[in-house]
Amino acid sequence: MLIYVRENLIMRSFQKNDASMVYETIDKNRNFIRTWLRWVDDTNSPTVIEDIIAKWEKDYENKSDFVFGIFEHGKHIGTIGLHAVERITHSAMVGYWLSESHLGQGIMTDCVRALVNFGFHTLNLNRIYIRCADKNKKSRAIPERLGFVQEAILQDGECLYGKFQDLIIYGMVKRNWNNSSPLN
């Protein structure tokens, strides 16, 4: 599946032959990504990434997770997905990461906007939420920019490398989604 985001920027389903490129992106950004995500140390080879992509393909077929690579000019620069898709409640969680060199360009905001549109209009979800570490200001700015509502703070909601951190939960329901950022 392919989702056009803007000129020279797309989100698409991963393919097995993407593994080396994805591994390279992770490896170049390992210390940066590790600050906020606990899976980084487990992605220590392209073979591991191949296995992860195979899992994502099965999850896509089962409609339980929809994970896309973010590609700019054909180069992998990050990953985004709708996770924990619940058919009964019509809800899902957005997760994302972007290479450090691509921060501050509005890329992830545009990708989250496109993914939320996909979730509401293609998957017929009713509620989409995003969990961000309370100290991750750049990540938190994305749902805030897109008009998500801060719904909760989970005290010690995540343990990352032996340290607990609070998580902020942002939510959006379909009836309140207007397909665009309030700051456009």
Classify residue 41 by its DSSP letter: G
Q: Percentage of the chain with pLDDT > 90?
A: 71
Give residue 179's pLDDT band: very low, low, confident or very high (50, 70, 90): low
pLDDT reported for residue 43:
79
Q: Is residue 182 part of a domain?
A: no
- 177 phi and psi, to 5 degrees? -85, 130
- Find the range with the poorest average confidence among 49-63, 68-82, 132-146: 49-63
pTM of the model: 0.91
Q: Print the domain residue range for 38.
A: 2-176
Would residue 13 be called left, alpha or beta, if left means φ above 0 and alpha means ψ between -120 and 50 degrees? beta
- Per the CB < 8 A criterion, the answer to whether 85 and 65 are in contact is yes
pLDDT at position 47 is: 87
Q: Assess if residue 183 is contained within a domain.
A: no
Would residue 9 count as lying in a domain?
A: yes
**Range 120-124 average pLDDT:** 95
Residue 156 in any domain: the answer is yes
CB 177 within 8 A of CB 171: no
Q: What is the pLDDT of residue 182?
A: 45
Which pLDDT score is estimated for 61? 87
Q: Looking at residue 165, which CATH number applies to its domain?
A: 3.40.630.30
Over residues 27-32, the mean pLDDT reads 86
Tens-digit pLDDT profile for residues 83-112: 999 999 999 999 999 999 999 999 999 999
Are 46 and 20 in contact, with CB atoms under 8 Å apart? yes
Does the residue 15 lie in any domain?
yes
**pLDDT for residue 180 is more than 70:** no
Q: How many domains does the chain have?
A: 1
Mean pLDDT for the chain overall = 91
The CA distance from 109 to 115, in Å, is 10
Residue 181 counted as domain residue: no
Highest mean pLDDT out of 31-40, 49-58, 121-130: 121-130
Q: How sure is the predictor about 181, in pLDDT bands with cuts at 50, 70 and 90?
A: very low
Which residues are paired to 83 by β-bridges? 93
Q: What angle separates helix 137-145 from helix 107-117, to the nearest 10 degrees?
A: 50
At 32 the pLDDT is 82
53: which 2 tokens? 């992509």
What is the pLDDT, as a whole number, of residue 160?
A: 85
